[in-house]
Amino acid sequence: MSIKPARTRVAPSPTGHMHLATARVALYDYLLAKKTGGQFVLRIEDTDLTRTVPGAEQEIMDGLRWLGLHYDEGPDVGGAYGPYRQTDRREIYQAHAKILVDSGHAYPCFCSPDRLEKLRQEQMKRKENPRYDGLCRSLDPDDAARRVASGEKYVIRFKMPQEGATTAHDLLRGDIVTENKQLNDYVLLKSDGLPTYHLAAMVDDHEMGITHVLRGSEWLGTFPLHVNVVRAFGWEEPLWIHLSVFLKPSGKGKLSKRDTSLAMKDGYSVFIKDMSELGFTPEGVLNWIALMGWGVAEDDVMTLDQMIDRFSVDGLTASPAAINFQKLDHFNATHIRLFTTEDLAARLKPYFAREGLNVNDETLLKIVPLIRERLVTLDDCVSFGGFFFKEDVTPVPEDLVAKGLDAKQSAQVARSAYEILAAQPDFRHEKCEPPLRAYVEESGLTANQVFGILRVAVTGQKVSPPLFESMEIIGRETCLRRIQNAIEILQRM
């Protein structure tokens, strides 16, 4: 059976930093489109001018590209269904609002903000849900049209059916039935002539030929309104999928703004723009996000292509997704181990450069196999391997003193090691290691003591990649100079 190509869209509002919730919708949209040979569209929903943040739209486009979720159509790439920015589509919404007014599915409302506020206060006092009382619903349409023509301020409201019930179908949740008397006459077109989400998104999804609407579960409340709007136009409905909510990292309660800022302090983030800076890879982030609402096995490691292969909307789940940063670490580290040496080297380079280290490509290719297994985030490369690119290292004097020895004795060990290595013209690790092991035997010291002193002397740190391999890469001259320097430090102590 051939599957019909899906047209999907991610429709973020440029009101702040791109959150992983947007990335998740985009990922599933992308997978569905690619799986079925369809298209994935980016639409910018910027009709709430008071909330638009400069730069946010660019951040969304950059974020999607960084993740590798390349959209087929969008504001900066064009496409046959544009424009893809809602403020560039005003006339389309105004024309559609008029269609609904003319067909009796919507009406102009002239109520002042003052009246609406009073109404809200009274309803709150009576412990009722705030809703429009329908005053302008019963205005004579010709009178209303005259008032509009005379320049009076108005909004367009949807004339929600008042009797019966609305059944809306969600692919993950089944039929959702709502009594129509609980529904409100929502505003479709604001007094500034711009549409609300309730009109703009419905019009655009139809006009853009969207087949599957994947969106956050915060839209479940107005879902009955949306299907009524689509039906009022007489259009075919898309398939609706409301994704699961995100829970706090603890798993208790919905993710809040506060949790977001706490996460930032711990070297994690829920914003896509921070991921690269924190050393996360697109592959790790995507794999992590993929499993927050898609019921494949918890620990499935997948590249984007493998996800396309395995994806199906039936696999999506409505159960809440806890944000578990340990899993992000896990997937990031796992993908780092899957990259080729050349690929990983290219990805690590900017992190060394960020610390002012001058990276030599040949050396970098040699150290990647030595540090790869230790990396959880890409920026870990600096703490494990920064010393490879430094002219000299500055060990903490105390670290040069081996356990069970004093500074003088440690200096003596360093001197012996220096002599052994200085006598070694071939600095390959298989040549340097045996004479030093022999020295450990003869001296009655432990390998930890001897190699510990050497490690701190040569790398400047107590933890490093394998010592002899590291010394081979650093090279004979530099190693000897660093050991000499360590001897001097120990002598001064």
Q: Report in angstroms how near the CB of residue 215 gets to ligand GLU at its nearest.
A: 4
Rounded Cα–Cα distance for residues 419 and 176 (Å): 81
Binding mask 221-250 for ligand GLU (x = CB under 6 A): ------------------------------
166-169: long-range pairs with CB below 8 Å, 24+: 166/224, 166/227, 166/228, 168/223, 168/224, 168/226, 168/227, 168/240, 169/240
- 105 or 198, CB closer to ligand GLU? 198
H helix runs in 219-314, sequence order: 223-233, 257-265, 272-277, 282-290, 304-310
Rounded Cα–Cα distance for residues 444 and 405 (Å): 12
Q: Report in angstroms how near the CB of residue 14 gets to ligand GLU at its nearest.
A: 9
CB-based contact 248:288 (threshold 8 Å):
no
According to CB under 6 A, which one of 6, 8, 12, 247 is a site residue for ligand GLU? 12
Q: Is residue 215 at the binding interface for ligand GLU, with CB under 6 A as the rule?
A: yes
Q: Is residue 75 at the binding interface for ligand GLU, with CB under 6 A as the rule?
A: no
Taking CB under 6 A as the binding criterion, the range among 8-16, 187-195, 378-386, 393-401 that sits at the site for ligand GLU is 8-16
376's tokens: 């959880």
- 92 or 405, CB closer to ligand GLU? 92
Rounded Cα–Cα distance for residues 409 and 455 (Å): 16
Q: Report in angstroms how near the CB of residue 330 gets to ligand GLU at its nearest.
A: 29
Q: Is residue 11 at the binding interface for ligand GLU, with CB under 6 A as the rule?
A: yes
DSSP secondary structure letters along 127-151:
TPPP----GGGGS-HHHHHHHHHTT
318's tokens: 């409505």
Which helix H or strand E contains 239, and what residues bound it?
strand 239-243
Size of the site for ligand GLU (CB under 6 A): 7
- 210 or 414, CB closer to ligand GLU? 210
- 10 or 348, CB closer to ligand GLU? 10
According to CB under 6 A, which one of 8, 27, 40, 45 is a site residue for ligand GLU? 45
Strand 7-10's sheet: what is its strand order?
39-42, 7-10, 212-216, 239-243, 165-170, 174-179
Give the N- to C-terminal CA distance of the chain in Å, as an integer. Answer: 79
Q: Phi and psi for 118 in degrees, rounded to 5?
A: -60, -45
- 201 or 413, CB closer to ligand GLU? 201
- 13 or 281, CB closer to ligand GLU? 13
**421: nearest Cα among 408, 402, 435:** 435
Taking CB under 6 A as the binding criterion, the range among 6-14, 96-104, 232-240, 290-298 that sits at the site for ligand GLU is 6-14
- 18 or 458, CB closer to ligand GLU? 18
- 72 or 380, CB closer to ligand GLU? 72
Q: Which positions from 136 through 175 interact with ligand GLU, judged by CB under 6 A? A: none
Q: Report in angstroms how near the CB of residue 132 gets to ligand GLU at its nearest.
A: 22
Work out whether strand 106-109 and strand 155-158 pair parallel, antiparallel, or are unpaired: antiparallel
Q: Is residue 332 at the binding interface for ligand GLU, with CB under 6 A as the rule?
A: no
For residue 339, the 8-state DSSP code is S
Taking CB under 6 A as the binding criterion, the range among 5-13, 320-328, 347-355, 411-419 that sits at the site for ligand GLU is 5-13
**135: nearest Cα among 97, 154, 109, 105:** 109
Binding mask 172-201 for ligand GLU (x = CB under 6 A): -------------------------x---x
Active site residue 257: yes
Taking CB under 6 A as the binding criterion, the range among 9-17, 151-159, 351-359, 402-410 that sits at the site for ligand GLU is 9-17
Please give the sequence-ordered ranges of beta strands (E in DSSP) within 250-374, or none if there are none. 321-322
CB-based contact 78:117 (threshold 8 Å):
no
Residue 164 Cα distances to 207, 251, 323, 480, angstroms: 29, 38, 40, 87
CA 457 to the chain's CA centroid? 41
Residue 477 Cα distances to 316, 442, 464, angstroms: 59, 26, 19
Q: Exactly one of 257, 349, 403, 408 is catalytic; name it.
A: 257
Q: Is residue 211 at the binding interface for ligand GLU, with CB under 6 A as the rule?
A: no
According to CB under 6 A, which one of 8, 13, 228, 410 is a site residue for ligand GLU? 13
Q: Report in angstroms how near the CB of residue 205 gets to ligand GLU at its nearest.
A: 8
**Cβ partners under 8 Å of residue 185, min gap 6:** 109, 131, 132, 134, 137, 157, 158, 159, 160
Q: Report in angstroms how near the CB of residue 210 gets to ligand GLU at its nearest.
A: 10
- 12 or 279, CB closer to ligand GLU? 12
Which helix H or strand E contains 168, and what residues bound it?
strand 165-170
Residues binding ligand GLU (CB under 6 A):
11-13, 45, 197, 201, 215
**Residues designated as active site:** 257
